[in-house]
């Protein structure tokens, strides 16, 4: 056996993979073409790397192959350009994974009905990869999850293929792997948390630094080389666990600070203080304060979910995460507070919530996007219906409410015309879309309950507005 024949696949990948990236011949596969996977796949394609998107949803694949978009902030022409250039293609055929040099997993990681991690999408996807795994491939998990998932869940499934990838420690200075690459292992495995923020016009995908961590130095080097092709900056950490914890910290930080202002909002309401005025005044301090804002509850795929992933994992170490759990409880209870506040506002007008006609404005979890994952609006609709209210909604991005994992209301949007607004007992602003004419809403509605301070610029008929 020659020296080259004795070399393991990880050594070959660590030397040939970067050269394939430089020559733009490396084949990139992205599994899961949602709000994370689709922009990531298009980004690699725009940077000259042939990219294949994999999804089990035939309808999504058909749209992408025609150059059409199902995500509002990703325009169809941007997709069509890459499809026509043969830089991007979409498929439901997972057998094509064998031809990929790098496979990126971008699938959901929701909570189950007991608020515990549901890794079924990650497990199923990894099982789909395993029959097609070959020597020298790089697999990267991007789905947000608890520290240890890559090593404890993904790696054992991939090794059922008969190929091995050892967990070996390495050093890093934050921008590169400081230790030399190991020469053990048949394939490469890393974790790199997605940092997408749908609707954020200030930072595009490639501008947000990419954190990467490998199960060994060869894997970290390969992942760094991959993301360096498309991102302005890559930050290397010492392990997949460190990378996984990085994303959990980012979202837990936001979760606990939002819980703080939500709790202060409830106190300020009792004390007759305008929390929005207080936050604006506190924000004038040039140091030591970052503003967070209260609302009707948390939405999106990350902030309402990620802290619970951490608290679940912490139990394995017999470590109580009371602070984080309390923040999660406060935020999860906000839709109930909104409904109670609406009921009380109606009561002061000698009206009952039961049989009251309520129009909800905004279904998306935040303004100006077409994403309703974990949206508090859905929970609020469910609570109002349970209490006997007659509920309608409007959202410029959802003419009909799609079925979700938890809800299937089968509702169609009602246009907020002057006549329609006047016919409801209350209009509840849950998502402050920029397209709404809030002055007109206040002018025509009988009562406006505003959970976002969206009506702050409305000067007339303030007596109709109740800030919640």
Catalytic residue among 165, 255, 268, 302: 302
Nearest to 136 by CA among 90, 106, 103, 107: 103
* pLDDT band, residue 291 (cuts 50/70/90): very high
Per the CB < 8 A criterion, the answer to whether 416 and 395 are in contact is no
Residue 184 pLDDT greater than 90, yes or no = no
At residue 178 the predicted structure's pLDDT band, cuts being 50, 70 and 90, is confident
pTM as predicted: 0.90
Long-range Cβ pairs for the range 200-206 (8 Å, 24+): 205/39, 205/40, 205/43, 206/43, 206/230, 206/231, 206/232
**Residue written as tokens 């199902």?**
70
H-run or E-run covering 79: helix 76-84
CB atoms within 10 A of CB 271: 9
Each residue of 110-163: pLDDT tens digit?
Answer: 988 888 899 999 999 999 999 999 999 999 999 999 999 999 999 999 999 999
Residues 324 and 175: their CA atoms lie apart, in Å, by 30
For residue 379, is pLDDT > 60? Answer: yes
Q: What is the mean pLDDT of residues 273-277?
A: 96
- For the record, the structure tokens of 184 come out as 């053990």
Residue-wise pLDDT tens digits, 309-358: 999 999 999 999 999 999 999 999 999 999 999 999 999 999 999 999 99
Q: How are strands ordered across the β-sheet holding 465-467?
A: 390-394, 357-361, 426-429, 448-450, 465-467
In sequence order, the β-bridge partners of residue 52 are: 29, 89
Q: Any residues with CB less than 8 A from the CB of 277 and at least 6 apart, and which?
A: none
Sequence-distant (6+) residues with CB within 8 A of 213 are: 190, 191, 192, 220, 223, 236, 237, 238, 239, 240, 241, 242, 243, 244
Residue 321 near residue 310, CB atoms below 8 Å: yes
Is the CA virtual torsion 231, 226, 142, 318 positive or negative?
Answer: negative
Return phi, psi of residue 467, to 5°.
-80, 130
User: What is the C-alpha to C-alpha distance for residues 444 and 464, in angstroms, rounded to an integer?
Assistant: 10
**What does residue 417 show for φ and ψ, rounded to 5 degrees?**
-70, 165
pLDDT interval class at 10 (50, 70, 90): low
pLDDT at 6 over 50: no
> Catalytic: 302?
yes
- Element holding 59 (H helix, E strand): helix 58-65
229: which residues sit within 8 A by CB, 6+ positions away?
21, 44, 47, 49
pLDDT at 2 > cutoff 50: no
- Rounded CA-CA distance 94/124 in Å is 12
* 40 in Cβ contact with 142 (< 8 Å): yes
The phi and psi torsions of 180 (rounded to 5 degrees) equal -65, 155
Mean of the pLDDT values across residues 96-106?
98
Q: How many of the other CB atoms lie within 10 Å of CB of 68?
A: 13
pLDDT of residue 12: 56
Q: What does the chain come to in residues?
A: 468
What are the chain's domains? 3-238 (3.40.50.720), 257-467 (3.40.50.720)
d(Cα 447, Cα 335) in Å, to the nearest integer? 19
Contact 107/125 with Cβ under 8 angstroms?
A: yes
Pairing relationship of beta strands 88-91 and 51-54 according to DSSP bridges: parallel
State the CB neighbour count (10 A cutoff) for residue 337: 18
Mean pLDDT value across the chain: 93
Q: Taking 80 as the threshold, does the pLDDT of residue 263 lie above it?
A: yes
The pLDDT of residue 457 is above 70: yes
Confidence of residue 203 (pLDDT cuts 50, 70, 90): confident
* DSSP 8-state assignment for residue 106: -
Quick one: DSSP state of residue 207?
A: G
Q: How far from each other are the two terminal CA atoms of the chain, in whole angstroms?
A: 75
For tokens 């998502």, the residue is 431
The residues pairing with 467 across neighbouring beta strands, listed in sequence order, are: 450
């Amino acid at each position: 056996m020659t020296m080259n024949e004795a070399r393991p696949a990880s050594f070959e990948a660590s030397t040939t993979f970067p050269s394939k990236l430089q020559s733009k011949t490396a084949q990139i596969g992205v599994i899961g073409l949602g709000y994370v996977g689709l922009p990531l796949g298009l980004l690699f394609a725009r940077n000259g790397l042939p990219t294949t998107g994999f999804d089990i949803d035939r309808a999504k694949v058909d749209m992408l192959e025609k150059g059409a978009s199902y995500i509002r902030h990703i325009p169809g022409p941007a997709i069509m350009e890459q499809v026509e250039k043969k830089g991007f293609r979409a498929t439901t055929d997972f057998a094509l994974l064998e031809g990929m040099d790098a496979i990126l997993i971008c699938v959901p990681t929701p909570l189950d009905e007991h608020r515990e991690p549901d890794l079924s999408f990650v497990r199923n996807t990894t099982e789909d990869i395993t029959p097609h795994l070959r020597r020298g491939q790089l697999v990267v998990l991007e789905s947000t999850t608890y520290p240890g998932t890559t090593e404890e869940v993904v790696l054992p499934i991939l090794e059922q293929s008969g190929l091995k990838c050892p967990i070996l420690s390495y050093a890093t200075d934050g921008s590169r792997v400081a230790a030399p690459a190991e020469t053990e292992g048949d394939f490469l495995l890393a974790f790199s948390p997605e940092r997408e923020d749908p609707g954020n016009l200030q930072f595009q995908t490639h501008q947000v630094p990419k954190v990467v961590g490998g199960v060994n130095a060869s894997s970290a080097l390969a992942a760094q080389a991959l993301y360096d092709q498309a991102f302005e900056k890559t930050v290397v950490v010492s392990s997949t666990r460190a990378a996984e914890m990085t994303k959990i910290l980012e979202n837990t930080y936001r979760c606990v600070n939002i819980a703080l202002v939500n709790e202060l909002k409830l106190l300020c309401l009792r004390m007759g203080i305008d929390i929005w005025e207080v936050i604006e005044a506190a924000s004038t301090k040039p140091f030591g304060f970052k503003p967070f804002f209260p609302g009707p509850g948390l939405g999106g795929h990350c902030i309402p979910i990620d802290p619970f992933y951490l608290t679940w994992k912490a139990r394995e170490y017999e470590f109580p995460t009371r602070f984080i759990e309390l923040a999660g409880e406060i935020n999860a209870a906000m839709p109930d507070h909104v409904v109670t506040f609406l009921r009380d506002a109606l009561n002061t007008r000698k009206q009952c919530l039961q049989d009251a006609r309520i129009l909800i404005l905004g279904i998306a979890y935040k303004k100006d996007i077409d994403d309703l994952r974990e949206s508090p609006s859905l929970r609020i609709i469910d609570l109002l219906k349970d209490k006997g209210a007659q509920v309608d909604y409007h959202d410029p991005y959802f003419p009909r409410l799609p079925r979700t994992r938890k809800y299937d209301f089968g509702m169609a949007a009602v246009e907020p015309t002057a006549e329609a607004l006047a016919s409801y007992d209350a209009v509840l602003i849950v998502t402050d879309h920029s397209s709404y004419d809030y002055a007109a809403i206040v002018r025509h509605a009988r009562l406006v309950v505003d959970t976002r301070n969206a009506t702050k610029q409305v000067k007339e008929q303030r007596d109709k507005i109740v800030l919640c």
